[in-house]
Structure 1
Amino acid sequence: MTEETQSGELPDTGPSTCPGTAPWSVATTSSSGRSRRNSTRSVSRGRLGAGLVEVPRVPYRDPKTAVLTDPEVPEAKRFCSRCAKGVGRVRDGRPGRVEGYCPQCGHRYSFTPKLAPGEVLHDQYEVLGCLAHGGLGWIYLALDHAVSDRWVVLKGLLDSGDADALAASLAERRFLAEVEHPNIVKIHNFIRHADRQTGNLVDYIVMEYVGGQSIKDMITARRRDGNGDEALPLAQAIAYVLEILPALGYLHGVGLLYCDFKPDNVIQTEEQLKLIDLGAVRRIDDHHSPIYGTVGYQAPEIGTIGPSVFSDIYTVGRALAVMCFPFDFRGKCKDRLPTPEEEPLLARFGSFHRLLLRATDPNPELRFSSAEEMAEQLTGVLREVLAIEDGEQRPGPSTRFTPERRRFGVDNTRMDLAAVAAALPAPRVDTSDAAASWLATATTSDPAGLRKAPEYTVEVRLRIVRVLIESGDVAAALSELDGITAPSMFDESEIDPEDWRPDWYRGLAALVAREPDKARGHFEAVCDRVPGEAAPKLAIAVCAEAVGDADAADFYELVWRTDHSYVSAAFGLARVAMARGDRQHAVQVLLDVPDTSSQHVAAQVAAVRAMIDDPTEDDLVAAGQRLDSLDLDVPRMAQLTGELLAAAFDWVTRNSACPSRVLDCALSEHELRLGLERCYRTQARFAATPEERIALVDRANAVRPRTLV
């Protein structure tokens, strides 16, 4: 593995000991992002972050202001490109040399710019000065006189005597000619120019100028202006990664690996992000070229099995963590993430923590399988993050689960876990499965009928598992699952070993078997695999409620706050809130069920019942107003009226009468007795049995006020 130095890192880190090139068109403006039109902060909810996040604009930077007045590599950033040891350092009070030989390995080094202002390359590109320096070369600003004097960037070799650096430069040149993506820097030309001192020919890449600010410099600016441990807002960092993941997916799709993703290599201009520095790019099937990357970001398996799509995913996960909170990502946390105890952000946003853990799993095959899959789950996590931060729902469709098939827990009675298993969302059928179209139209719920499918595929067998679970035949369902997941005679199971759906169905089976603790373990495993999905969190909430765990409310609230279409989560949250004595929260949650929901009236009724549980005078009045506004049939209205007036009567017997009114009855014993009598007689007219009718008439007679006659 070849090593190189970086041009700079986050303030709390040391120099990199793995390859990576510094940003070449980085502005030094503050992260507040001031508009060119005025001096006020400008934000926009544009394309970044799926249109969910307001991201500060970074104004386009005038190229002339980006030119370095005194281009020099700081001594702390001078490293030998062969052995990575420090070179050109101060010695005996004398400044370090910018050119010389490494005292460790004897390799020649040079940190002087090779091009001077005014120098013209290829009879076309006039050099204006240096913009930045990096491990693979100096970066210059130039004017392209052949194309309307447009601004361009020239990138050459820092150390043209290093064979690996030269190979990397040539590799970059070869790959860049194939790359065309709006979020990846554009390449205009490749030229050679004779060094004015040695006469040697040096290769230069001509790129577009991207004026803006790198994510690394945004973080650096925040720390410089703050306490030194600031990071980007979580939602903003996620928005940036969501914008860049399609670019990485594009590279993977054309057979290329990026290898060196980090905050240094992403620049924002206005609302657009660009991935720069393709110096470490290599073909997926290249097993011989030098491997470039950066310590702290690079996947642990690089030295043994080499780069892969999985290792690129790892760098994205590590970079996202670095953007969001400060930690020693090159020291004690070089190969792991901080724990929630070490980093409060991870404790507050559990789904984000799960996503980072999967992206940076030590086992490459347990990471996200593609940039697209990571982006899909990260979008779901972003919706949760925003909902937690401001309490506003951000619903979004799931490509992994159906909506809730039925609502559960609506009648406020003890939950039937078997009914819950049949009501929870179902995993969607893989459309690439040979039997997908047949399953879309199949109406049979008989396992024998399903076994007659034209193609007996994994999706058909999973449907059989679901049918068996819902019929209560847990043993048969688990046996079928074992058949799908067990290795065959060729040592391969029918289903991908990392597929999360077997865990989902085992969780459902455990629910039907009334084993909520066991079920939760399976649903937690699903949540670890698809951290942006609501369905497994809803299932975990059910399991937690069933055993009385305090975190049931947290999971119900997370699901409900993110997406109000999960109405079962609202009823679950209300139940848990009532159980812990937080009646006000329970009522508010139920009142928030939208009127577009089929369970809106049921939620309003549940809210009325919650209001009259150990009520105050104000609660009784509010419950009466709420009930009066509901459009209910006569029997149901009479039943709820009876419950409300009975609660009011009980309150009056413990307190003094008052002029407030509940459903046209004053809060006095006499009027409430009359109201209850009328209510019970109304209920008696709609009684289902003679016995029930007689009981209600007896109650009416018992509650009516006494008379003198």
Structure 2
Amino acid sequence: MSITAARGAPPLAPGTEPVPGYRILAGLTRTGWLDVYDAWSEERDCRCVLKTVRPDRRGERRLGERLLREGRWLRGFTHPHLVRAYDVFAAPEPVVVLETLTGETLSHLLHRLRRRASAADVALLGVQLCSAVHYLHGRGLLHLDLKPSNVVVDRGLAKVLDLSVARPPGPAPAGVGTCCYLAPEQARGGMLTAAADVWGIGVTLYEVACGDLPFECRATGGTAHRPYAGDEPDDGTGTGDPGDWYPQLEREAPPIGSRRRLPPALAAAVDGCLRADPSARPGVAALAAALETALPVPRRGC
């Protein structure tokens, strides 16, 4: 959907400078609470991406705080598989400036190419996601929204987007994240650990390898795939809708081998991520090591 076609207050017009040194070129997308723009940075002499709270929701202080928190995290983080933030502005309205990424989101590639990734590409993607997640966990954060629309790939390099629902390990309300990609413990609510992001890696690799999710998705309140966007922020009640149905709470994920033939080590690694019991899933380091064995030339690091 074009940002100009979305409901609510109109977006900023091309040529507008929401903060000094940044000029709007065009609208990219609109979510339930954010507007995302293609913009020009005068200081850097290059394009960038601006995230702002929608004009019709700027009176909700928690939304601005959520956006600023994400921006400050990304501005302080430095990792080859995480999107970078250039600037964060609290006034006159909250604005986060992100790097413009070349390439396409995994969700777009899946729908555009209509072909499954090679086993080697799946394994490489998994190693890179593990690297990004390991970095976040080392800084006390769980991502909690790993999915194809939050990963941009360009010539084999993956970058993870969107820390809008990230939080430290600990108790969380039900439904934090995106319905179809939630670990069972995210869906039901309760204690969240690094194992929730291991599930997110696994379900992303499953969809990339097979072209579909391990479970039928029938979300009534789930979010669409939107680059740079982020889900509706939760205020302690979760982001899911009371009518959402979570099949991952009712049955185990079908083995990936039932959908596609893959090298045994790769298939076992993905299946291990999708165990219902968080304690039965591999740790991030063990998962990365298992995925590396499926690479044509095993490697460590980024």
* CA offsets 1:650-688 (integer angstroms, 9 cap, x no match): xxxxxxxxxxxxxxxxxxxxxxxxxxxxxxxxxxxxxxx
* CA offsets 1:136-167 (integer angstroms, 9 cap, x no match): 4111111111x142222110124435565444
SS of 1:231's partner is coil
* CA offsets 1:66-111 (integer angstroms, 9 cap, x no match): xx6x7323xxxxxxxxxxxxxxxxxxxxxxxx23xxxxxxxxxx5x
* CA offsets 1:105-127 (integer angstroms, 9 cap, x no match): xxxxx5x42x2111113321111
In structure 2, which of residues 267, 287, 294 is the aligned counterpart of residue 374 of structure 1?
287
- Shift in Å at residue 192 of structure 1? 4.1
SS of 1:152's partner is strand
State how far apart, in whole Å, the 2-side matches of 1:291 and 1:166 are. 21
- Shift in Å at residue 256 of structure 1? 1.2
* CA offsets 1:45-67 (integer angstroms, 9 cap, x no match): xxxxxxxxxxxxxxxxxxxxxxx
Distance 1:288 1:296, change over 3 A: closer
SS of 2:184's partner is coil
Alignment of structure 1 residues 377-456 onto 2, 5 Å: 377-380=290-293, 382-383=294-295
Distance 1:397 1:275, change over 3 A: closer
Distance 1:339 1:242, change over 3 A: closer
Alignment of structure 1 residues 647-666 onto 2, 5 Å: none
In structure 2, which of residues 43, 51, 54 is the aligned counterpart of residue 155 of structure 1?
51
Structure with the higher strand share, 1 or 2: 2
> Is 1:185 equivalent to 2:99 in the alignment?
no
Q: Contact 1:297–1:315 (CA<8 Å) still a contact in 2?
A: yes
SS of 2:267's partner is helix
Q: In the alignment, what sits opposite 1:362?
A: 276
Q: Contact 1:240–1:273 (CA<8 Å) still a contact in 2?
A: yes
Q: In the alignment, what sits opposite 1:272?
A: 157
Distance 1:179 1:337, change over 3 A: same
State how far apart, in whole Å, the 2-side matches of 1:289 and 1:162 are. 20
Q: In the alignment, what sits opposite 1:318?
A: 203
Q: In the alignment, what sits opposite 1:142?
A: 39
SS of 2:27's partner is strand
SS of 1:250's partner is helix
SS of 2:95's partner is strand
Distance 1:338 1:160, change over 3 A: farther
- Shift in Å at residue 309 of structure 1? 0.6
Q: Contact 2:14–2:26 (CA<8 Å) still a contact in 1?
A: yes
Alignment of structure 1 residues 207-218 onto 2, 5 Å: 207-218=98-109
Matched residue type, 2:27: C
State how far apart, in whole Å, the 1-side matches of 2:212 and 2:247 are. 10
> Is 1:71 equivalent to 2:7 in the alignment?
no
State how far apart, in whole Å, the 2-side matches of 1:231 and 1:266 are. 16
- Shift in Å at residue 278 of structure 1? 1.8
Alignment of structure 1 residues 277-676 onto 2, 5 Å: 277-284=162-169, 287=171, 292-302=176-186, 303-331=188-216, 334-335=247-248, 336-339=252-255, 342-343=258-259, 345-346=260-261, 349-369=263-283, 371-380=284-293, 382-383=294-295
Distance 1:276 1:367, change over 3 A: same
* CA offsets 1:286-317 (integer angstroms, 9 cap, x no match): x4799731112111112332432110101100
State how far apart, in whole Å, the 2-side matches of 1:161 and 1:237 are. 43
Q: Contact 1:152–1:209 (CA<8 Å) still a contact in 2?
A: yes
Matched residue type, 2:286: E
State how far apart, in whole Å, the 1-side matches of 2:81 and 2:68 are. 22
Percent sequence identity is 22
- Shift in Å at residue 330 of structure 1? 4.7
State how far apart, in whole Å, the 1-side matches of 2:70 and 2:119 are. 32
State how far apart, in whole Å, the 1-side matches of 2:189 and 2:29 are. 33
Distance 1:397 1:125, change over 3 A: closer
Q: Contact 1:171–1:282 (CA<8 Å) still a contact in 2?
A: no
> Is 1:116 equivalent to 2:116 in the alignment?
no
State how far apart, in whole Å, the 2-side matches of 1:202 and 1:290 are. 30
Q: In the alignment, what sits opposite 1:562?
A: none
- Shift in Å at residue 209 of structure 1? 1.1
State how far apart, in whole Å, the 2-side matches of 1:397 and 1:141 are. 36
- Shift in Å at residue 266 of structure 1? 1.1
Alignment of structure 1 residues 34-53 onto 2, 5 Å: none
State how far apart, in whole Å, the 1-side matches of 2:74 and 2:173 are. 16
SS of 2:207's partner is helix
Give the unaligned 5+ runs of structure 1: 1-6, 8-67, 74-97, 100-109, 194-200, 224-229, 387-393, 399-709
- Shift in Å at residue 135 of structure 1? 4.7
* CA offsets 1:404-423 (integer angstroms, 9 cap, x no match): xxxxxxxxxxxxxxxxxxxx
Scaled by the length of structure 1, the TM-score of the pair is 0.35
Distance 1:257 1:328, change over 3 A: closer
State how far apart, in whole Å, the 2-side matches of 1:328 and 1:208 are. 30
Q: Which has the larger radius of gyration?
A: 1
Q: Contact 1:175–1:281 (CA<8 Å) still a contact in 2?
A: no
Distance 1:274 1:319, change over 3 A: same
Q: In the alignment, what sits opposite 1:240?
A: 125
Scaled by the length of structure 2, the TM-score of the pair is 0.77
In structure 2, which of residues 96, 105, 108 is the aligned counterpart of residue 205 of structure 1?
96
SS of 2:53's partner is coil
Structure with the higher helix share, 1 or 2: 1
- Shift in Å at residue 175 of structure 1? 2.3
- Say how many residue pairs are matched: 266
State how far apart, in whole Å, the 1-side matches of 2:28 and 2:299 are. 45
In structure 2, which of residues 19, 24, 28 is the aligned counterpart of residue 131 of structure 1?
28
Q: Contact 2:151–2:161 (CA<8 Å) still a contact in 1?
A: yes
Matched residue type, 2:4: P
Q: Contact 2:206–2:256 (CA<8 Å) still a contact in 1?
A: no
- Shift in Å at residue 280 of structure 1? 1.8
Distance 1:328 1:259, change over 3 A: closer
Q: Contact 1:156–1:203 (CA<8 Å) still a contact in 2?
A: yes
Q: In the alignment, what sits opposite 1:402?
A: none
Matched residue type, 2:201: V
Pairwise CA RMSD = 2.9
Q: Contact 2:215–2:253 (CA<8 Å) still a contact in 1?
A: no
SS of 1:232's partner is coil
Matched residue type, 1:217: H
State how far apart, in whole Å, the 1-side matches of 2:299 and 2:147 are. 30
Distance 1:135 1:250, change over 3 A: farther
* CA offsets 1:174-214 (integer angstroms, 9 cap, x no match): 42233111221111111245xxxxxxx53110111112211
SS of 1:140's partner is strand
Q: In the alignment, what sits opposite 2:68?
A: 170
SS of 1:202's partner is coil
State how far apart, in whole Å, the 2-side matches of 1:164 and 1:231 are. 40
Give the unaligned 5+ runs of structure 2: 218-245
State how far apart, in whole Å, the 2-side matches of 1:214 and 1:397 are. 24
